[in-house]
Amino acid sequence: MMIEGKVFKDGKFWLAEIPALDYLTQGRTKKEALQMAIDIVVTGVEKAGFTVTLIKGDNDTFRLTSNDTNALLAHILKRQRQKHGLTVREVSSRLHSVSPNAFSVYERGKSAPTINKLEELVHAIDPKASLVLRIA
């Protein structure tokens, strides 16, 4: 699994944006901004041994992949929930569950969702969101 980002110059700084994680970081150089993109994801996941690899794309785009897809996916779910200002309990309620564990097991990486379940989880966070599956 890979997530996409873009790097661009804004004034005297380079910015690296990772929309799936709602992250924006910066550096004085393009190389430094890309390194900061890796660092912010590793720091955000907070899991021993978790690593991220950056793959440069075309036109100032990049992709990030990791050695632990479940941890990366769990972090995406958490960041999207936080972006929308929701609690775990609120998302679980949107999943029609009385237990907050209905969502938290995925957000903590304790269980890996199927594609159908992932779509359900994303829609519980943002009913207008769409999943795009691309095989490259």
What whole-number percentage of the chain has pLDDT above 90? 84
- pLDDT tens for 20-41 read 999 999 999 999 999 999 999 9
What whole-number percentage of the chain has pLDDT above 70? 100
116 and 84 share one domain: yes
Whether 114 is covered by a domain: the verdict is yes
Whether 87 is covered by a domain: the verdict is yes
Whether 20 is covered by a domain: the verdict is yes
CA–centroid distance for 97 within its chain = 24
89 and 111 share one domain: yes
CA-CA distance, 52 to 29, in Å (whole number)? 20
97 vs 17, higher pLDDT = 17
36 vs 1, higher pLDDT = 36
Short-list 33, 4, 40, CA closest to 20: 4
Domain hosting 99: range is 69-125
For the chain, the DSSP string reads: -EEEEEEEEETTEEEEEEGGGTEEEEESSHHHHHHHHHHHHHHHH--TT--EEEEE-STTEEEEEES-HHHHHHHHHHHHHHHTT--HHHHHHHTT-SSTHHHHHHHTTSSPPPHHHHHHHHHHH-TT--------
79 and 58 share one domain: no
Whether 133 is covered by a domain: the verdict is no
59 and 107 share one domain: no
Whether 61 is covered by a domain: the verdict is yes
20 and 35 share one domain: yes
pTM of this structure:
0.91
Q: Which two tokens stand for residue 60?
A: 């100032």
For residue 136, is pLDDT > 80? no
Whether 32 is covered by a domain: the verdict is yes
60 and 73 share one domain: no
pLDDT, residue 135, reads 77
CATH number of the domain enclosing 82:
1.10.260.40
pLDDT, residue 100, reads 79
pLDDT, residue 60, reads 94
Whether 97 is covered by a domain: the verdict is yes
Query: Considering its fold, how many domains does the chain have in total?
Result: 2
